[in-house]
Amino acid sequence: MAVLADSGSNPDVDLLYDINGLAKDAPHWWDRVMEFVGEYGLLLAMVLLILWCWWSVRRRGGEEAAPSVAALVWAPLAAGLAVLVNVPIRGFVRRPRPFLDHEGLDVLVSGKNDFSFVSDHATITMALGVGLFVAHRRFGLVGIGLALLEGFCRVYMGVHYPTDVVGGFALGTAVVLLLSPPATALLTPLMRAVERSPRVGGLVRRRSAPGVPVLAGAHRPAESEERDLAA
């Protein structure tokens, strides 16, 4: 079923060899770094970025706290859903890993025997990045940048074609944006209910010190560019 890149004259294959060729010219220690970054490091960085964004939104508070936290909750849920959507896509396309069809690739990770299209790593990271962008513009731009780096790493490591990565980016983005309206419509009231809870309300908005009144708008930052898109 996989006819996306079966020829060495295909630009997809040419770009694969060009990017993966950088691994052959790099020192061994650098390839090991790229292996860790592409397999685990960027996923961990995305998780930490989401936690940092949640902490920032929680501290800032305001009426936008609940919608922003709802958008942050949606980001990993959307990433998980996108991976589930990818299961039948992989089974339908059935595209082998590039190193099975093309010789001379420097494969940095062993044990990749499943199908190649689309890349789970690219799907997850872009879904998280776009979900972050919905919640907070500046954090989201950083997240999308990390997702693009993840896609480069997957091709550099020799385990995906460039179109596998592009497909993952498209899938992750589509799931986040298409389902964001109903998801936030369900999650925002839930986050507002959590916010009102005396026990767990601090997960959504930081509690003020006892005896210190919270004035509406007093805790809002001056930078208007950091306003949440989810508000």
Q: What is the mean pLDDT of the chain?
A: 83
Top pLDDT among 110 and 190 is at 190
Label residue 208 by pLDDT band (50, 70, 90): low
* Residues 10-46: tens digit of each pLDDT: 888 999 999 988 988 889 899 899 999 999 999 999 9
Residue 162 and residue 155: Cα distance in Å, rounded?
Answer: 6
pLDDT for res 193: 83
pLDDT for res 226: 46
What is the average pLDDT across 176-190? 92
What's the token pair of residue 216? 């509406």
**Cβ-based neighbour number of residue 206 at 10 Å:** 17
* Residues 109-121: tens digit of each pLDDT: 887 888 899 999 9
Alpha helices in the chain (DSSP H): 11-25, 28-36, 42-60, 65-93, 98-101, 120-135, 137-156, 162-196
pLDDT for res 199: 78
Question: Structure pTM?
Answer: 0.82
Least trusted range by pLDDT, from 6-10, 188-192, 224-228: 224-228
pLDDT for res 223: 42
* Residues 140-159: tens digit of each pLDDT: 999 999 999 999 999 999 99
Q: Give how far the C-alpha of residue 196 lies from the chain's centroid of Cα atoms, to the nearest Å.
A: 30
pLDDT for res 5: 46
Neighbouring C-alpha atoms within 13 Å toward the C-beta of 173: 12
pLDDT at 211 over 70: no
pLDDT at 92 over 90: yes
One-letter amino acid at 114 equals: D
